[in-house]
Amino acid sequence: MSDQDCCIVGAGPAGLMLGLLLARSGVRATVVEKHEDFLRDFRGDTIHPSTLEVMAELGFLDEFLTLPHQKAEKLHAEIGGRQATIADFSRLPTRCKYIAFMPQWDFLDFLAGKAKELPGFRLLTGCETTGLTEDGKRVTGIRYRARDGRDQTLSAPLVVGADGRESVVRRAARLEVEDLGSSVDVLWMKLARRADDPPQPMSHAGPSQGLVMIDRGDYWQLGYVIRKGGFEQTRQEGLAALREKLAAVAPLPAERFEELAEWDQLHLLQVRMDRLKTWWKPGVLCIGDAAHAMSPIGGVGVNLAIQDAIAAANILAGPLRAGTLTDADLQAVQARRIFPTKATQAIQRMMRRKRKPGSEDPAARGRPPAFLRAIARSRLLPHLTGRLIGMGFRPEHVSAPPRT
């Protein structure tokens, strides 16, 4: 007899939100995380309006917003040599009409703290999942390596893979992945912020110029687009050449980039877009990046993961609590979330600037895509893109009341 109703692999936004919501509904949920803490740079740090709305539904919003964060009520881009609004959140039907930029470790610490207050929740850190246990017909639990190095097993009626794009769960479950391709990677870095720097919380120099700047309070977080697999060539060209390219597209003086003196100040994100053809098999379900790796365009990956977790909790809490979980319940989660996944990825693919082999680097200056130029000229379209980025195609709401 298992002492948990659900084992969740991965204590990211999807895993912790699901664990919290299940435990809140009276389900015994154990979250297993290979790292001992959440302190990792350059993870998705955008908390979208729909996620903030969920925090309000849970009664956490006021406390949550006491954590350090920056607000972006609009997103801007350089289009045709001028700054233009490409997303405006001011008309959203939410309490918070902005994106909050917050270090993901603060967000995860907050969720974990709230979840630990619930009797049915357990978080195992420093425990690396190595595989699944099966009885021939269905998945029955996980195998993991504990902090002390010993191999252990954990049994549960349901295993949820929320362990990201390199998911051990989806690989061990032999779930088929559909690769949607990507033509770019991203270099992330930090640059000190000064008092006389531009006041925008987030801006970027169009997709064809390939630079994103996020105001993180005392520093800028920069994302610079390079061609897929082009990092080695970038290294061969040298840091001086990279600094010149950054200065050419950033609204900062060239000398500011002298701060980038070592390659270990840069972090390579190998962009990938994919999704599972089927998110589940008997006894196991994948959500978040484990089910669908997203492009960083729009910063929507965290939002999609949170929405998956809410839908999964709404659908699965009752059957898990009653011990009546069926394959149809797992199928219902995918059915609920497949449209927003496909629609979001379709838009992200449309936003990629296609280039012929041998054409100029995507970070080079060039003419923005027609749809971005249309957004820049319109008063209405930024509100539409604000809704798509801020809320997504099917925003989820917490439906199950707390169990006392």
The confidence band for 136, taking pLDDT boundaries of 50, 70 and 90, is confident
39 and 116 fall within a common domain: yes
C-beta separation of 49 from 97 below 8 A: yes
Binned at pLDDT 50, 70 and 90, residue 154 comes out as very high
- The Cα–Cα gap between 86 and 79 comes to 9
> Is there a single domain that holds both residue 55 and residue 117?
no
| Residue 242 and residue 119 share a domain | no
Residue 404: is its pLDDT beyond 50? yes
Q: Tell me: do 39 and 4 sit in the same domain.
A: yes
Q: Is residue 34 part of a domain?
A: yes
Count of domains observed in the chain: 2
pTM: 0.88
Same domain, 17 and 30: yes
Q: Is residue 402 part of a domain?
A: no
How are strands ordered across the β-sheet holding 151-155? Answer: 128-134, 139-145, 151-155
Q: What tokens were used for 20?
A: 């919290």
Chain centroid to Cα 268, Å, comes to 16
Does 404 map to a domain? Answer: no
CATH number of the domain bearing residue 62: 3.30.9.100
* 8-state DSSP, 368: P
Judge if 211 and 240 occupy the same domain: yes
Domain assignment of residue 401, yes or no:
no
Count how many Cα atoms sit within 13 Å of the Cα of residue 209 in the half-sphere of its side chain: 24
Please check whether residues 309 and 377 belong to one and the same domain.
no
pLDDT at 361: 47
Specify the pLDDT at position 355. 47
Question: Do 261 and 366 lie in a common domain?
Answer: yes
Looking at the structure, do residues 138 and 260 belong to the same domain, yes or no?
A: no
Residue 399 lies in a domain: no
Domain that holds residue 372: 46-102+183-270+361-394
Tell me: do 110 and 166 sit in the same domain. yes
pLDDT of 33-92, one tens digit each? 999 988 765 566 889 999 999 999 999 999 999 999 989 898 887 766 677 888 999 999
Residues 345 and 207 in one domain: no
Task: Tell me if 254 is assigned to some domain.
Answer: yes
123 and 76 assigned to the same domain: no
Give tens-digit pLDDT for 1-41: 578 999 999 999 999 999 999 999 999 999 999 999 887 65
For range 107-114, the mean pLDDT: 97
* Structural domain includes residue 400: no
Looking at residue 8, which CATH number applies to its domain? 3.50.50.60
Q: Give the dihedral of Cα atoms 343, 303, 388, 339; nearest 10 deg.
A: 20
